């Protein structure tokens, strides 16, 4: 019997071998992450805010848009997908309803955080957190839904208390959330390798570490992945790289196009994938095969008749 995506993800995390889970901002970026060999993926709320709204990650996205895009991403991938539900859409009852929808989609896991709504990206200033008891209630509600539906959904409870209340409080909250039934804890904004080592000693369960873009580190020290695996980190998230890479690539291309004396970049093929490469990746050949199988022959002959 084939294991569910949630069961596969759970098994990989329980190895505590620093499973790298990059963030995606749409179905195409998700497919690319899978194609190069990563074993799991997460939906980036930061990336969705940028790709859908061209806005910062400060709680502006509608939850329906998040769920719609998550469904697109799940359908585009065969590896486990973790959803990002920010603060859970409201109180514990709202979070539970969202979890039901995610389980129906085949989502493997979710990230939920203890920020006050409207929330903001974990590496921005001005974050505020709700009480640990309120967040524990959200986690317990998610666990109840999971048990009722017979799901293995992985619940990753994120605390943003490190920035405002210090590491000790963040560790305390992580343990409360794990006690409430979360499978993994995530201390966002943790700063140094020494802090990570302390959290690994004091957190009573799986720990996730966020390396943001894998290049600059932002607020968390960039510790090599093999080292994090040796230390026993369960998951390493790299949530914002895809949208930052897309932003830089698009900006550079259109700046060059705008500056070009001819208005073209003829012959400069390094800027982009070829049309053939792209259509191959997104499955045009399979689409054509299905046309050949299911459309009437006369329709195909008319559709693809040589142009005069």
Q: What is the pLDDT along the chain (308 residues), one digit of tens a residue?
A: 679 999 999 999 999 999 999 999 999 999 999 999 999 999 999 999 999 999 999 889 999 999 999 999 999 999 999 999 999 999 999 999 999 999 999 999 999 999 988 776 656 676 889 999 999 999 999 999 999 999 999 999 999 999 889 999 999 999 999 999 999 999 999 999 999 999 999 999 999 999 989 998 677 899 999 999 999 999 999 999 999 999 999 999 999 999 999 999 999 999 999 999 999 999 999 999 999 999 999 999 999 998 87
Rounded Cα gap, residues 111 and 248, in angstroms: 27
- Top-tier CATH class for 5-246: alpha beta
Question: Which residues are CB-contacts of 244 (< 8 A; sequence separation ≥ 6)?
Answer: 213
User: What's the start-to-end Cα distance of the chain, in Å?
Assistant: 54
- Residue 111 CB: number of other CB atoms within 10 A? 25
Please state the pTM of the whole predicted model.
0.95
Rounded Cα gap, residues 71 and 243, in angstroms: 19
- What is the token pair recorded at 247? 């932003």
CATH 3.20.20.60 spans which residues of the chain? 5-246
Strand ranges (E), the chain? 19-24, 41-43, 81-84, 109-113, 154-159, 184-187, 206-210, 235-238
**Sign of the torsion formed by the C-alpha atoms of 224, 225, 230 and 235:** positive
Question: Which residues are CB-contacts of 218 (< 8 A; sequence separation ≥ 6)?
Answer: 123, 212
Rounded Cα gap, residues 195 and 209, in angstroms: 11
Do residues 102 and 109 lie in contact, with contact meaning Cβ atoms separated by under 8 Å? Answer: no
Rounded Cα gap, residues 237 and 33, in angstroms: 13
CA distances (Å), origin 306, targets 21, 301, 302: 47, 9, 9
- Name the β-bridge partners of 21: 237
Query: Helix 132-149 crosses helix 167-179 at what angle (to 10 degrees)?
Result: 30
Rounded Cα gap, residues 216 and 223, in angstroms: 11
> Alpha-carbon Rg of the chain, whole angstroms?
22
Do residues 232 and 200 lie in contact, with contact meaning Cβ atoms separated by under 8 Å? Answer: yes
Helices (H), 260-308: 275-281, 284-294, 297-303
Do residues 189 and 239 lie in contact, with contact meaning Cβ atoms separated by under 8 Å? Answer: no
Question: Which residues are CB-contacts of 113 (< 8 A; sequence separation ≥ 6)?
Answer: 86, 87, 119, 122, 157, 158, 159, 160, 188
Rounded Cα gap, residues 30 and 242, in angstroms: 9
């Amino acid at each position: 019997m084939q294991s569910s995506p949630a069961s596969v993800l759970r098994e990989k995390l329980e190895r505590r071998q620093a499973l790298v889970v990059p963030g995606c901002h749409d179905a195409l970026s998700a497919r690319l992450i899978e194609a190069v060999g990563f074993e799991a993926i997460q939906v980036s709320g930061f990336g969705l805010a940028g790709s859908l709204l061209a806005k910062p990650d400060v709680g502006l996205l509608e939850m329906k848009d998040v769920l719609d895009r998550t469904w697109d991403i799940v359908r585009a991938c065969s590896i486990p997908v973790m959803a990002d539900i920010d603060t859970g859409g409201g109180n514990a009852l709202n979070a539970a309803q969202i979890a039901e929808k995610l389980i129906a989609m085949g989502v493997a896991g979710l990230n939920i955080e203890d920020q006050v709504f409207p929330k903001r990206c974990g590496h921005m200033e001005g974050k505020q957190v709700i009480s640990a008891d309120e967040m524990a209630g959200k986690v317990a509600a998610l666990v109840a839904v999971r048990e009722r539906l017979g799901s293995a959904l992985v619940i990753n409870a994120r605390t943003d208390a490190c920035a405002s209340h210090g590491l000790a409080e963040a560790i305390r909250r992580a343990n409360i959330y794990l006690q409430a039934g979360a499978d993994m804890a995530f201390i966002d904004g943790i700063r140094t390798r020494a802090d990570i080592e302390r959290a690994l000693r004091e957190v009573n369960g799986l720990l996730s570490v966020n390396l943001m873009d894998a290049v600059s580190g932002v607020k968390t020290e960039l510790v090599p992945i093999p080292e994090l695996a040796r230390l026993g980190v369960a998951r390493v998230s790299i949530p914002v790289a895809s949208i930052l890479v897309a932003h830089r690539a698009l900006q550079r291309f259109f700046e060059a196009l705008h500056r070009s004396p001819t208005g073209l970049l003829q012959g400069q093929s390094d800027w982009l994938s070829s049309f053939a490469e792209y259509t191959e990746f997104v499955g045009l050949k399979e689409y054509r095969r299905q046309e050949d199988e299911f459309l009437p022959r006369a329709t195909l002959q008319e559709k693809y008749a040589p142009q005069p």
